[in-house]
Amino acid sequence: MCIKNITSVFRSSNLPMIITMKIGLLGATGPAGKALAARLASVGYEVIVGSRSKYRAMEIRDEIISDWPEKELQITAAENLDAAKADLIVIATPWDAAATTARSVADQLHGKVVVCMSNAIARVAGEFQPLVPPRGSVAATVQSVIQDSYVAAAMHHVPANELGDLKEEVESDVLVCSDHVKATQETSELLSKIPGIRPLDAGGLSNATAIEAFSAVILQLNSRYKTRAALRFIGIDEN
């Protein structure tokens, strides 16, 4: 490899190594997608912020870049359809838009890992309560409309504020579930690049029902104790 190529792959010591995998986030103009876009770019991924409107995506891309000028983040903006051309896709829309969004870009998703982070939650009389979507979870509903993609459910419990604050590490276990080993592995590998996050294999996609629903409990704890609760499991030996 010539010197020019080496410098294009490795950046100076205070900047992350560029990772060649491109991550496309659909609905990344909301707090969750924006925060994940910033965090993944900060660890070296090339990230595409996706939206139904390219202009909203550009606005959010510009906000992230101006929030963290010293990070030299590799972020571009696109409509969801173009963001879905990336190597791995994350759906960060509200729960009732996740399957429709996946279906609208299905032609781009064949054979790819698609991570769904949407939670179906309602706030009723001040309390957070889980809703049970068709097929038991948002992720299972998404998988049903893109059957030749590999859907994983993950990132439901990490609050956008912490995820998007690149000054601090994110301290959290992240439960990953899927019916496809490939999806669990690629999602876990992606998340393990984020310092402080420990991805855990939580089994098949049927467990997305419990994982998504548990978000209501965490939001309730946050509200009750005026905090940002995070998950840490004890007793798990990763080796």
Ligand X SMILES: NC(=O)c1ccc[n+]([C@@H]2O[C@H](COP(=O)([O-])OP(=O)(O)OC[C@H]3O[C@@H](n4cnc5c(N)ncnc54)[C@H](OP(=O)(O)O)[C@@H]3O)[C@@H](O)[C@H]2O)c1
- Chain residues binding ligand X by CB under 6 A are 27, 29-33, 51-53, 56, 92-95, 97, 101, 117-119, 155-156, 158-160
Residue closer to ligand X, measured from CB, 16 or 94: 94
Whole-angstrom CA distances from 31 to 37, 49, 50, 77 are 10, 12, 13, 16
**In the complex, what is the shortest distance from the CB of residue 158 to ligand X, in angstroms, rounded to a whole number?**
6
Residue closer to ligand X, measured from CB, 18 or 104: 104
Residue closer to ligand X, measured from CB, 9 or 122: 122
Residue closer to ligand X, measured from CB, 119 or 143: 119
Spatial separation of the C-alpha atoms in residues 77 and 62, rounded to whole Å:
9
**In the complex, what is the shortest distance from the CB of residue 1 to ligand X, in angstroms, rounded to a whole number?**
39
Q: Compute, in degrees rounded to 10, the torsion defined by CA atoms 146, 149, 152, 155.
A: -80
Kindly state the helix (H) or strand (E) to which residue 89 belongs, with its residue range.
strand 88-91
Q: Using the 8-state DSSP alphabet, how is residue 169 labeled?
A: -
**In the complex, what is the shortest distance from the CB of residue 230 to ligand X, in angstroms, rounded to a whole number?**
11
Backbone angles phi, psi at 191, to 5 degrees: -70, -30
- Reduced to 3 states (helix: H, G, I; strand: E, B; else coil), residue 1 is coil
**In the complex, what is the shortest distance from the CB of residue 60 to ligand X, in angstroms, rounded to a whole number?**
8
Residue closer to ligand X, measured from CB, 72 or 162: 162
**In the complex, what is the shortest distance from the CB of residue 8 to ligand X, in angstroms, rounded to a whole number?**
31
Kindly state the helix (H) or strand (E) to which residue 25 belongs, with its residue range.
strand 19-26
**In the complex, what is the shortest distance from the CB of residue 160 to ligand X, in angstroms, rounded to a whole number?**
3
Spatial separation of the C-alpha atoms in residues 70 and 16, rounded to whole Å:
11
Residue closer to ligand X, measured from CB, 26 or 73: 26
Residue closer to ligand X, measured from CB, 93 or 141: 93
Burial class (CB in 10 A: 0-12, 13-18, 19+), 124: exposed
Kindly state the helix (H) or strand (E) to which residue 7 belongs, with its residue range.
helix 3-9
**In the complex, what is the shortest distance from the CB of residue 195 to ligand X, in angstroms, rounded to a whole number?**
18
SS3 percent helix, strand, coil of the chain, rounded to 5, is 45, 20, 35
- Using CB atoms, what's the residue nearest to ligand X? 30
